[in-house]
Amino acid sequence: MTPIATVSVIGAGQMGAGIAQAVAAGGYRVKLYDVDPDRLPLALGEIAAQLARQVGKDRLDQAQADAALARITAVDSLADAGQADLVIEAAVEDEATKKALYAELTPLLASNAIVASNTSSISITRLAATTDRPDRFIGLHFMKPAPVMGLVEIIRGIATSAETYEAAVAFAESLGKTTTNAEDFPAFIVNRILVPMMNEAIFTLYEGVGDVASIDKALKLGANHPMGPLELADFMGLDVVLAIMNVLYDGLADSKYRPCPLLVKYVEAGWLGRKSGRGFYDYAGPVPVPTR
C-alpha cells in the first residue's frame, strides 16, 4: 500500500471544507476541488476563519494554523484532483450525483489511489461497484464539523480489501480521530440512530405535542443533549436529514423510517436550516428564533 502524502477532497461545501482543514492540520498536502469554481475561494475563506477561531481558543498556535492553510491548494480541474494518493468525495448526498462523479473521476486516478466517500448513508458497496477499484474503495464518514468532532466512521464495502481498510484506519487516526467500524447498512451507525430521532422530533412538532422551543429544551435538559434535535437538524441541513431518512425508508422498507411530511414541506420550501437562513429557526437576527 502506497503511503498517503497527498489527499484530494472533492466538494468544497461545509463538509468538504471541514475535511480539507482537518486533513491539512494532520500534516497532509490537500487539493480542494468543487464543480463550482466560485465555491473554492469561499471555502478557503471559511477554513482560514475556522483556523483563526482555533487559534483564539488555544487549540492551535498561529504557526500551526498558517502551516495548515498553506498545505491546501484549490484546483480547478478534476484531472488535477485525481492525482492524489487518497481522494475523499464529499459531494451532495445523492447517489446519482456521486456515481456520475466517479464515472468522470475514475479514468483520471493513479492505479494505486484509494477512493473514499464521505457519504452519511449510501451503500459503499453500490458506490464502489461504479468504479474500477472496488477493492480500494471505502467509506470515511467524518462528523460535522469535521475539524472538531473526534469520530470517523469507517465502512467497508463487500469488496474492500483488508489493506485498504487498514490504510483508512491509520489515516483517520493520524488526524487525531477515533474510528469506529460500521457495516454497510443504510445510514451506518451514527445516522441510523441519530437521524430517526430528529425525524421523530419533527413528528412531535407536526402533531402539536410541543413547539420548537419546548422540544429542544426537553431534550437538552431532559436527556442532557448539547443541542436539541430540531436545532441539530437545522445544523446538519434539513435536505441532508431528508435524504438520509429516504435512504433508510427505501433500504429497510420499515414504516418507522417514513420521513415526516413537515420535513418534506420545509425542504420543498427551501427552508434547509442554518445554511439557507431558515429552518426550524430563523437565523436572520443575532439570536435564532423558532419558526413554529
- The model's pLDDT over 212-269, given as tens digits with 9 standing for 90+, comes to 999 999 999 999 999 999 999 999 999 999 999 999 999 999 999 999 999 999 999 9
Cell of 66: 498558517
Percentage of residues in the chain having pLDDT higher than 70: 100
Q: Which residues, in sequence order, are CB contacts of 169 under 8 Å at separation 6+?
A: 154, 179
Cell of 88: 475523499
Residue 97: band (very low, low, confident or very high) from pLDDT cuts 50, 70, 90: very high
Cell of 98: 456521486
Give the C-alpha separation, 46 to 12, whole Å. Answer: 10
> Which pLDDT score is estimated for 284?
95
> Which pLDDT score is estimated for 233?
98
Nearest to 216 by CA among 193, 235, 241: 235
Residue 16: C-alpha distances to residues 23, 134, 141, 215, 266 (Å): 10, 22, 11, 31, 24
> Which pLDDT score is estimated for 2?
77
Residues 86-98, mean pLDDT to the nearest whole number: 95
Position 119 pLDDT exceeds 70:
yes
Written as one letter, the residue type at 251 is G
Which residues are part of the catalytic machinery? Answer: 120, 141, 153, 191
pLDDT in tens, 134-193: 999 999 999 999 999 999 999 999 999 999 999 999 999 999 999 999 999 999 999 999
Position 83 pLDDT exceeds 80:
yes
Going along the chain from its start, the domains and CATH numbers come out as: 6-182 (3.40.50.720), 193-279 (1.10.1040.10)
pLDDT in tens, 12-67: 999 999 999 999 999 999 999 999 999 999 999 999 999 999 999 998 999 999 99
